[in-house]
């Protein structure tokens, strides 16, 4: 059986928010089967919690921000990406501020934290959302066209293309396709950092954003080059980070999606629009569980090797 998963022990991280610049503490705690991924603001006069869901997304301008029961939590995508990559279904996330800490700008610290806590398979079948038909969202036209889509597939694959008019991107791969497994996620995706341009950083800070951004938690470029002294972690780090973000954005259903995701120049907003289009169309998906190895697609045996 492919079972649900949670963390074995409680673990904690401390860092600053990318946009607020505020110090924040975050704790991951084990949760029973069928709990889901629950954010809990413990700094408020009355603690507020909510389960992640596509409709909880209220702001996608620079990150994926959630709101529920009067509480807001921003920049959830890197942590959500790590939870998806390691197959965690149920976890309590206690946070004492309005934004998840950015750490090094990738999902790697979250992967390390989850691996340190240990992952425990639970006695309840993992519920997949199986895509039954093509679902596509487009935005713009011509040179401004962006799109994202789901198609039926007996596995979890992602294909992403980017297009930036900048010298650095002309030397970097603009496309990536990955068959998502725990190993491929950790090795090929999790270490890719968020990125931005110096002129944008200055503008954002003048408007009270990106206050916690530094060369230690983001790739920053001027008009010609990468400013980070240690360069890139992957030759194609930019498109890999877009895949990392997409993995996190799509996991806001709280369930892995059995299907093929592809996108061109998509971001948090378009990813969420696609996710809502899928979940709101009852004919576009169905629940699937795999309680016997003989009925489990081979791709899922690779994705969850310890659970089959």
Q: Just list the catalytic residues.
A: 268
281: its two tokens: 């169309």
Which residues of the chain form beta strands (DSSP E)?
3-7, 11-16, 23-30, 37-41, 48-51, 57-59, 65-68, 71-73, 91-95, 119-125, 128-131, 135-139, 146-151, 156-161, 175-179, 195-197, 219-221, 257-264, 285-288
Q: Is 229 exposed, middle or buried (0-12, 13-18, 19+ CB in 10 A)?
A: exposed
Whose CA is closest to 95, among 33, 31, 30, 29?
29
Q: What's the CA gap between 254 and 186, in Å, rounded?
A: 20
Torsion sign, CA atoms 49, 94, 29, 52: positive
37 touches 51 (CB < 8 A): yes
Q: What is the dihedral of CA 250, 170, 142, 131, to 10 degrees?
A: -20
Task: Report the chain's terminal Cα–Cα distance, integer Å.
Answer: 5
Q: What's the CA gap between 88 and 271, in Å, rounded?
A: 21
- 3-class DSSP state for residue 114? helix
């Amino acid at each position: 059986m492919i079972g649900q998963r949670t963390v074995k022990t409680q673990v904690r991280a401390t860092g600053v928010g990318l946009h607020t610049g505020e110090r924040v503490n975050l704790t991951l705690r084990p949760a029973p089967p069928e709990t889901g991924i629950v954010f809990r603001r413990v700094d408020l006069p009355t603690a507020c919690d909510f389960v992640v869901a596509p409709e909880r997304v209220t702001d996608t301008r620079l990150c994926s921000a959630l709101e529920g029961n009067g509480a807001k939590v921003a920049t959830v995508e890197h942590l959500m990406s790590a939870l998806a990559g390691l197959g965690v279904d149920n976890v309590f996330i206690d946070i004492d501020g309005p934004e998840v800490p950015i750490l090094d700008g990738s999902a790697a610290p979250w992967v390390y934290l989850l691996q340190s806590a240990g992952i425990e398979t639970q006695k309840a079948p993992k519920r997949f959302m199986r895509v039954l038909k093509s679902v596509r969202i487009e935005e713009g036209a011509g040179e401004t066209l962006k799109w994202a889509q789901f198609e039926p597939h007996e596995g979890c694959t992602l294909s992403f293309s980017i297009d930036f008019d900048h010298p650095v991107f002309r030397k970097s791969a603009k496309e990536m396709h990955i068959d998502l497994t725990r190993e491929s996620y950790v090795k090929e995706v999790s270490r890719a950092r968020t990125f931005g341009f110096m002129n944008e950083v200055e503008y954002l800070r003048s408007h009270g954003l990106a206050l916690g951004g530094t060369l230690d938690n983001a790739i920053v470029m001027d008009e010609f080059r990468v400013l980070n002294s240690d360069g890139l972690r992957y030759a194609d780090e930019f498109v890999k980070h877009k895949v990392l973000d997409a993995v996190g954005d799509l996991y806001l259903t709280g369930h892995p999606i059995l299907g093929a995701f592809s996108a061109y120049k998509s971001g948090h907003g378009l990813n969420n629009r696609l996710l809502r289009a899928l979940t709101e169309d009852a004919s576009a998906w169905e629940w699937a569980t795999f309680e016997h190895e003989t009925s489990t697609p081979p791709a899922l045996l690779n994705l969850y090797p310890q659970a089959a």
